[in-house]
A and B are shown apart, each in its own frame.
Chain A
Amino acid sequence: MVAEHSVKKNFSVTLRVWRQAGPNQPGKFVDYPATDISPDMSFLEMLDVVNDGLTKIGDEPIAFAHDCREGICGTCSCTINGKPHGPGKGIATCQVYMRSFGEGDVIVVEPFRARAFPLIKDLVTNREAFDKIQQAGGFISVRTGAAPDANSIPVPKEDADLAMDAASCIGCGACVAACKNASAMLFVAAKVSQLGLMPQGQPERDKRVLAMVKTMDEAGFGNCSNQYECSAVCPKLITHDFIARMNRDYLAALFRSNFKPVSGASDGGA
């Protein structure tokens, strides 16, 4: 088959962008023309061009979060035309290309809005709450140097593959932004499932899920009401099945934590 060559023609769009100078400032939508746009430009490259234009006329450029620009770091976070990460499926904002739009389109660009993600400026929000959840339990406690030989812990390929599906989460927060309750269940479930699927993760399995869910609730994320907007916008297509898995883990852990005998042993001795 011959490469899919398309006729490339530049075009113009109008950007309707959320501008907000700071956390406690009023915000509003402002329209900007984006002219002579190549269909091969990425959405963020288009924003770069618009920003250079704003700088030249002495306006402040639009602040937006970005870094790797290859869909893996999870920094970029624009809601485009009402959908976190825009029109594509299974991609982050930085992987949206202008060929998804056409001449004369009005493109509405907003930050990832959620109570637990306070706004910093324009399209940039603070997603520190995700780090706090990880710090509460998103790990296996293994001191550097204390690990056994890697092949002494076999992991069935099916489990390892499923754990990898969950682990591919990039921590962008699109799941939260898409959810009407601003729930972080998909994000937390992905980490809980990854570690819970591996034999290495078993000793702390109960403690982990209880601690992470508690921190999630404290951070101001809402509850899950099973609408699955989260997995629909996830740039890594992480399935909401992991939420069901986490709910099972959570219930079992809650039950066990109430009925578990506690050792009377304490540290110390001769």
Chain B
Amino acid sequence: MAKLDSKTPSGPLADKWQKHKTEIKLVNPANKRKYEIIVVGGGLAGSSASATLAELGYKVKNFVFHDSPRRAHSIAAQGGINAAKNYQNDGDSVHRLFYDTLKGGDYRARESNVHRLAEVSVNIIDQCAAQGVPFAREYGGLLANRSFGGAQVSRTFYARGQTGQQLLLGAYSALSRMVGQGGVELHTNSEMLDLVLVDGHAKGIIVRDLNTGAITRHSADAVILATGGYGNVFNLSTYARQSNATAIWRAYKRGACLANPCYTQIHPTCIPVSGDYQSKLTLMSESLRNDGRIWVPKKKEDAKKPPASIPEADRDYYLERIYPSFGNLAPRDVSSRAAMRMCDEGRGVGETGLGVYLDFADAISRLGEPAVRERYGNLFDIYHEITAENAYKTPMRIFPAVHYTMGGLWVDYNLMSNIPGLFVLGEANFSDHGANRLGASALMQGLADGYFVIPYTIGDYLAGQKPGSRPKADGAEFKQAEQNVQSMTEKFLANKGTEPVSHFHKRLGKIMWEHCGMARTKAGLEQALQKIPALREEFQANVKVPGSAATLNQSLEQAGRVADFIELGELLCRDALTREESCGGHFREEYQHPDGECKRDDEHYAHVAAWEYQGAGKTPLRNTEPLNYEFTKMSVRSYK
């Protein structure tokens, strides 16, 4: 049974991080260059960590499966990044950001982690501005802000609708600088396929070069995973097509606990599905809800009529009606479920009936079309490309889609997993968002972890490792792990199947969306737990992977990733089944208030569920870490 010590520092909440920083061990500058650190992933967390650790003097090896770290999916975040700067003088503070994030997560995150996140948020904005990130500005030259869901202050910094791109390019520029100086050895097109443990510590990885097929071993003093979320377990999502869970899943199979996998975020404003061939769902930024109003017809029989023909009196602006104090800026989980309820009532719009309107007519008459175009022009363009509709003239149609995963590998306050020497950053860990993430908080967390947390906390581990004690990559553990990877590859290529990988990914996605999507039930989850193992067997018997292992082989890459998704999907359903309450992104129909809101069970479920692998075919072990709230009262989350 894994030992889950959160290592939360004692003392008053606001002093914990300061105190911890002065108490943890340091590595002296001359010794830093004797340590090698592997960082897997090149998104916000991976790039910022690689750059910062190299600046400190550590030798860093960065591995990304993309052809450049600049392509990691952080690039696609649109709306913004939160920070408690209070530049608007509207009452914001570190405490308020902490409280909003904790409440937004439905009281299922650690208080100490969330407070630290709010504290360092202000440093992130300073750092990014100094790097030349072109944030939106006011005419006086100072930084502009906007509002995001789940907050009543304007604390979101942004760069048009491309904030993730600009922040990632900032981190990538810092990383590139360190690559140029020799502080970081960059390995692109390199996919991590196994984690290597030596004496119980994470000391290396096995990597496949995606262009040549070469499999290589790499040892280090510590390993950092910053490999993103697992939302593509649903097949259709707003994730990039290549986003995958392989790194965290292979680490799980080596003993790292996977925490709260059932906390998945369904984003309310995405472009609806159009057909079976679809590979991707496109997000329309939450920032649109600052000016757009969401509605459906009051009467079912109006659902198929053109929106312009439905008079104002027959429209139901349901978010404004149900949640008057937050209105269209109600948090994501709340807004998504409300949209689902409207469609369940038969009032959904569009060909499939799975859609609601996001209408800018009011904003255009209030501000004028040019002002709306300046704020959201690129989003309206994207919408037009995909749907061939002009959203300046007719309301957008939107529907919820899988967007983010709050669950991830379990980590302590130092961001170290239960495997010593294995650190996990960004979306890949479970740490800060509880059961639901607020908008503009993912960028904040990725950069907080990489720029301002890991550079301190990794020293505490490394100080206990003798400089130069790093194992060589030719030990038995490395050979075994490499053999493990080779045999998986060979098995896929030798398989005499008939169906392409995508066939199984689509079917998995359908099972997950139907039984473990926006609303979950005991019966549905039990069905999923029958269907997924059957799908896994069929996949293994019948998948067809053409080509060879010695070249670029995209089918082979996908086969490995989908094999992992199928297994992870099963664990996700198991976690959802055993969490007999509703909280944040996890909504069990059996546990709801009369008005359809989540009904938490703090008495029995105020804990983290951290799953521990027990071997192939065996039921994983459910470990728990209690969530002790010392400073905040776990209250019923209300946005009314």
Contact = CB atoms under 8 A, between A and B. Distances in A.
B489 interface: no
A160 B144 CA distance: 11
A160 B131 contact: no
Given A141-B177, A147-B130, A167-B169, A68 B76 contact: yes
B12 interface: no
Main secondary structure of the interface of A (DSSP, over half): loop
A13 to B, nearest CB: 15
Contact of A167 (B68, B166, B308, B554): B166
A149 to B, nearest CB: 6
B277 interface: yes
Interface in A116-135: 120-121, 124, 126-128, 130-131, 134-135
A38 to B, nearest CB: 6
Given A45-B278, A75-B67, A160 B551 contact: no
A183 B417 CA distance: 47
A154 B552 CA distance: 47
Contact of A45 (B277, B452, B552): B277
B73 A61 contact: no
Interface residues of B, number: 89
B142 A151 contact: yes
Nearest to B72: A73
B140 interface: yes
Contacts of B241: 66-69
A51 interface: yes
Contact of A67 (B73, B125, B381, B500): B73
Contact of A75 (B71, B129, B176, B279): B71
Nearest to B386: A97
Given A1-B394, A135-B180, A198-B132, A147 B126 contact: yes
A95 B385 contact: yes
B546 A60 contact: yes
B68 A127 contact: yes
A52 B177 contact: no
A90 B390 CA distance: 17
Contact of B555 (A6, A55, A67, A72): A55
Interface stretch (B30-38, B157-165, B256-264, B591-599): B157-165
B382 A70 contact: yes
Given A67-B242, A120-B211, A154-B142, A72 B134 contact: no
A147 B499 contact: no
A160 B137 contact: yes
A44 interface: yes
A264 interface: no
Interface string B433-444: 000000000000
Interface in B263-314: 274-275, 277-280, 282-283, 306-309
Residue of B67, B126, B211 ringed by the most chain A CB atoms within 10 A: B67
Most buried by B among A68, A127, A130, A200: A68
Interface in B130-161: 130-132, 134-143, 159-160
Interface string B107-120: 00000000000000
Nearest to B166: A167
B561 to A, nearest CB: 13
B544 interface: yes
Nearest to B550: A22
Contacts of A163: 132, 134
A132 to B, nearest CB: 9
A219 interface: no
Contact of A61 (B165, B309, B554): B554
Interface in A136-178: 136-151, 153-157, 160-161, 163-164, 167-168, 170-171
Interface residues of A, number: 87
B306 A168 contact: no
Contacts of B623: none
A136 B180 contact: yes
A126 B586 CA distance: 42
Contacts of B186: 131
A267 interface: no
Interface in B537-558: 544, 546-547, 551-552, 554-555
A51 B123 CA distance: 47
Interface string B410-453: 00000000000000000000000000000000000000000110
A161 B51 CA distance: 27
B502 A52 contact: yes
Given A70-B76, A150-B126, A120 B552 contact: yes
A65 interface: yes
Contacts of B134: 160-161, 163-164, 167, 194, 198
B316 interface: no
A48 B280 CA distance: 12
A164 B389 contact: no
A147 B382 CA distance: 35
A241 to B, nearest CB: 17
B39 to A, nearest CB: 14
Given A151-B87, A194-B134, A139 B166 contact: no
Contacts of B555: 55, 61
Contacts of A95: 382, 385-386
Contacts of B382: 70-71, 95
Given A6-B388, A135-B176, A164-B134, A150 B67 contact: no
A226 to B, nearest CB: 27
Contacts of B136: 160, 164
The 3 closest A-B pairs by CB, nearest first: A154-B141, A147-B130, A139-B173
13 contacts: A4-B389, A21-B551, A48-B277, A56-B499, A63-B554, A69-B280, A121-B551, A126-B67, A131-B68, A139-B131, A142-B127, A164-B159, A168-B165
Given A128-B188, A153-B129, 16 more contacts: A1-B394, A56-B544, A66-B241, A68-B71, A69-B240, A69-B241, A91-B385, A120-B552, A130-B68, A138-B173, A139-B174, A140-B132, A144-B455, A147-B129, A154-B141, A200-B130
